[in-house]
Amino acid sequence: MRLTDTGDLWWKTAVVYCLDIETFMDFNDDGVGDFEGLAHRIDYLAELGVTCLWLMPFYPTPGRDDGYDIIDFYGVDSRLGHHGDLVEVLRTAKDRGMRVIADLVVNHTSDQHPWFKASRSSKDNPFRDFYVWRDEIPPNAPTNVFPDKEDGVWQLDEKTGQYYLHNFYRHQPDLNLANPKVRDEIAKVIGYWMQLGFSGFRVDAVPFLKQDGDPGVDPHELLRSLRKYLTRRAGDSVLLGEVNLPFEEQYAFFGGEAADELTMQFDFVGMQKLYLSLARQDARPLADSLRERPVLAQESQWANFVRNHDELTLDKLSEAERMEVFEAFAPDEGMRVFDRGIRRRLPTMLAGDPRHVRMVYSILFSLPGTPVIFYGEEIGMGENLEQAGRLAVRTPMQWNAAANGGFSRARSRRLVAPVTPDGFGPAHVNAADQRSDPDSLLSFFEKLIRRYRASVEIGWGELTIIDAGVDCVLVHAVQGQEGRMIAVHNFSSDPQEIEFALPDGMGPNAELVELLRDGGVVADEKGRVSIALDAFDHRWLRVHDGDDKRLS
Ligand code: GLC
């Protein structure tokens, strides 16, 4: 790989930033964030170092699943602006060097979508087969994704006496993806947004695309054809899949070696093991999952994340492990949701300890893969537990210490969601204050992102987990043709002294330059390095040799 390849496979060294238009910035002061507001914050994101925006659903919606219930795949929710405003965002982002991807939610629609209204109107309606209908509930029906509200995935529709499939809420009927007409519609939707200037999609709910039983759908075949179609239209566009499955199945959803399905996938397993490691102050669960993570084809990439807009799901941990994480980070029942997840953001879970928070983001940006951040993470926003369920972490972005955190000048009761109260509220946590403070979390993120972008081996290189002889410390190396670095993370609240051997090839007497602070470390003649770590310390060390012409 040459440095210049990073411009082609841009997603391998990207910084992805997820936001919901309605909670980001309200320009017309009606209490709801809008495209114009986002346009005015593009420079903030560019300065932070974001290279790819992921826009959560902005389509017309009855809003019963925060926009993941869509009534028009080609539309723009009028509360947020119109198509023209969206195009202005795309254009401004492009000018600032940022790509934009959209949420593609095609597993289901809202029950208010005209297709479903037609489909349920009679058994012989031409749209009947756009959804999955059965005379009876099939045996072994899976459980619903939202067990707090739904007790199954089949809903009887009185009018025609048949059941329709809904893996999510009952107001989100699953599309019949086995129907070629539905597939054609999906392709057209993709083509439409690509034509407007999007660079790809975050694909919602991938494991559910298979649907149920007879006729069923081969989701791999579906994704292969969508990927082919997408890259025919724009060769460097991406599909970033939400696939919360074991590694083996994820590997298949990349298309394995052929790499012809999803371009990127979130590492849900790694994320959950990270929290287990944090709860135990023991790096081994995370280290093990990194070792087990399949090595991907060159075009494919892992998307690493610490939090997203949903619950922090712990479904891939054992019951006992889940309880450990719950006890550490969600001690009250009200902080949990669906019996499997936590509805909090990171800083509150870590009791606001800046060393701990920084160490976690340092891990995120140093792990092989591409980091994805959820708006507000860069300033350390907390959650509002008074909001129902997953909405707790979807509060308005906190821009400054003014009323409503500078998100909107509407009366606070008109806001789309109340701002986070108390200690993590805008008076204490906001972007404006942090921009002028070189020691703030925001400044730390900016530095981290600069270093990450200049260390392309993180996105491209090979991973080695190094034994540091201490369970609470993770030492990992990433080596690419264009660079080599070592990252050290202390999961413990106690200082540690560690000594480890550099992997082969990094050599004796190697000079290691600190990337996140001044100074450096030199390996001894046997290639061994000794480092003293503070509590929750984090270090990025670039192996410096004569051939490395990067500016440090
Ligand atoms: C995905 C989204 C989630 C949504 C669900 C149904 O899991 O991340 O927010 O509720 O799909 O579309």
Buried b (16+ CB within 10 A) or exposed e, 257-276: eebbbbbbbbbbbbbbbbbb
Tokens of 192: 């439409």
Question: Helix or strand or coil: residue 544?
Answer: strand
- Which of 109, 169, 244, 310 is the pocket-test mutation for ligand 1 (most atoms within 8 Å of CB)? 310
Q: How far apart are CA 542 and CA 477, in angstroms?
A: 10
What residue owns the CA closest to ligand 1's atom 3? 310
For ligand 1, the distance from its centroid to the CA atom of residue 281, given in whole angstroms, is: 31
For ligand 1, the distance from its centroid to the CA atom of residue 464, given in whole angstroms, is: 34
pLDDT, position 141: 87
Q: Which numbered atom of ligand 1 lies nearest the CA of 69?
A: 12
pLDDT per position as a tens digit, 252-280: 999 999 999 999 999 999 999 999 999 99
For ligand 1, the distance from its centroid to the CA atom of residue 179, given in whole angstroms, is: 23
What residue owns the CA closest to ligand 1's atom 12? 68
pLDDT at 546 over 80: no
Mean pLDDT over 167-196 rounds to 97
Q: How far apart are CA 465 and CA 447, in angstroms?
A: 24
For ligand 1, the distance from its centroid to the CA atom of residue 67, given in whole angstroms, is: 9
pLDDT per position as a tens digit, 371-384: 999 999 999 999 99
Q: Is the CB of residue 335 less than 8 Å from the CB of residue 344?
A: yes
Q: Which of 349-358, 487-496, 497-506 has the lowest mean pLDDT?
A: 497-506
pLDDT, position 547: 74
pLDDT, position 506: 85
pLDDT, position 219: 95
| Ligand 1, CB cutoff 6 Å, lining residues | 65, 68, 105, 168, 204-205, 242, 309-310
Tracing tokens 């509407």 back to the chain, one arrives at: 410
pLDDT, position 12: 97
pLDDT at 530 over 90: yes
Measured in whole angstroms, the distance separating CA 541 from the mean position of its chain's CA atoms is: 26
Q: Which numbered atom of ligand 1 lies nearest the CA of 169?
A: 6
Q: How far apart are CA 272 and CA 307, in angstroms?
A: 10
Q: Which of 263, 218, 248 is nearest to 104 (CA)?
A: 263
Q: Which numbered atom of ligand 1 lies nearest the CA of 105?
A: 12
Q: What is the 3-state secondary structure (H, E, C) of 44-78?
A: HHHHHCCCEEEECCCCCCCCCCCCCCCCCCCCCCC
Annotation marks residue 248 as catalytic = no
Annotation marks residue 249 as catalytic = no
Q: Which numbered atom of ligand 1 lies nearest the CA of 390?
A: 9
Mean pLDDT over 241-245 rounds to 98
In sequence order, the β-bridge partners of residue 108 are 174
In this prediction, residue 552 has a pLDDT band, given cuts at 50, 70 and 90, of low
pLDDT per position as a tens digit, 188-236: 999 999 999 999 999 999 999 998 766 689 999 999 999 999 999 999 9
* Exposure on the CB side of residue 441, measured as CA atoms within 13 A: 23
What residue owns the CA closest to ligand 1's atom 9? 310
CA torsion 329-333-335-339 (nearest 10°) is 90
- Which of 23, 68, 390, 393 is the pocket-test mutation for ligand 1 (most atoms within 8 Å of CB)? 68
Mean pLDDT over 422-430 rounds to 97
Mean pLDDT over 452-470 rounds to 96
Q: Which numbered atom of ligand 1 lies nearest the CA of 107?
A: 12
CA torsion 45-392-150-155 (nearest 10°) is -40
- The proportion of the chain whose per-residue pLDDT surpasses 70, expressed as a percent, equals 99
Catalytic residue among 77, 242, 261, 433: 242
What residue owns the CA closest to ligand 1's atom 8? 310
pLDDT, position 481: 86
What residue owns the CA closest to ligand 1's atom 2? 204
Burial class, 4, CB count within 10 angstroms (exposed 0-12 / middle 13-18 / buried 19+) = exposed
pLDDT per position as a tens digit, 292-338: 999 999 999 999 999 999 999 999 999 999 999 999 999 999 999 99
Tracing tokens 């009927």 back to the chain, one arrives at: 173
pLDDT, position 214: 62
Catalytic residue among 103, 204, 212, 282: 204
In this prediction, residue 396 has a pLDDT band, given cuts at 50, 70 and 90, of very high
Tracing tokens 């401004």 back to the chain, one arrives at: 92
For ligand 1, the distance from its centroid to the CA atom of residue 204, given in whole angstroms, is: 6
Transcribe 339-363 into DSSP letters: TTEE---HHHHTTT-HHHHHHHHHH
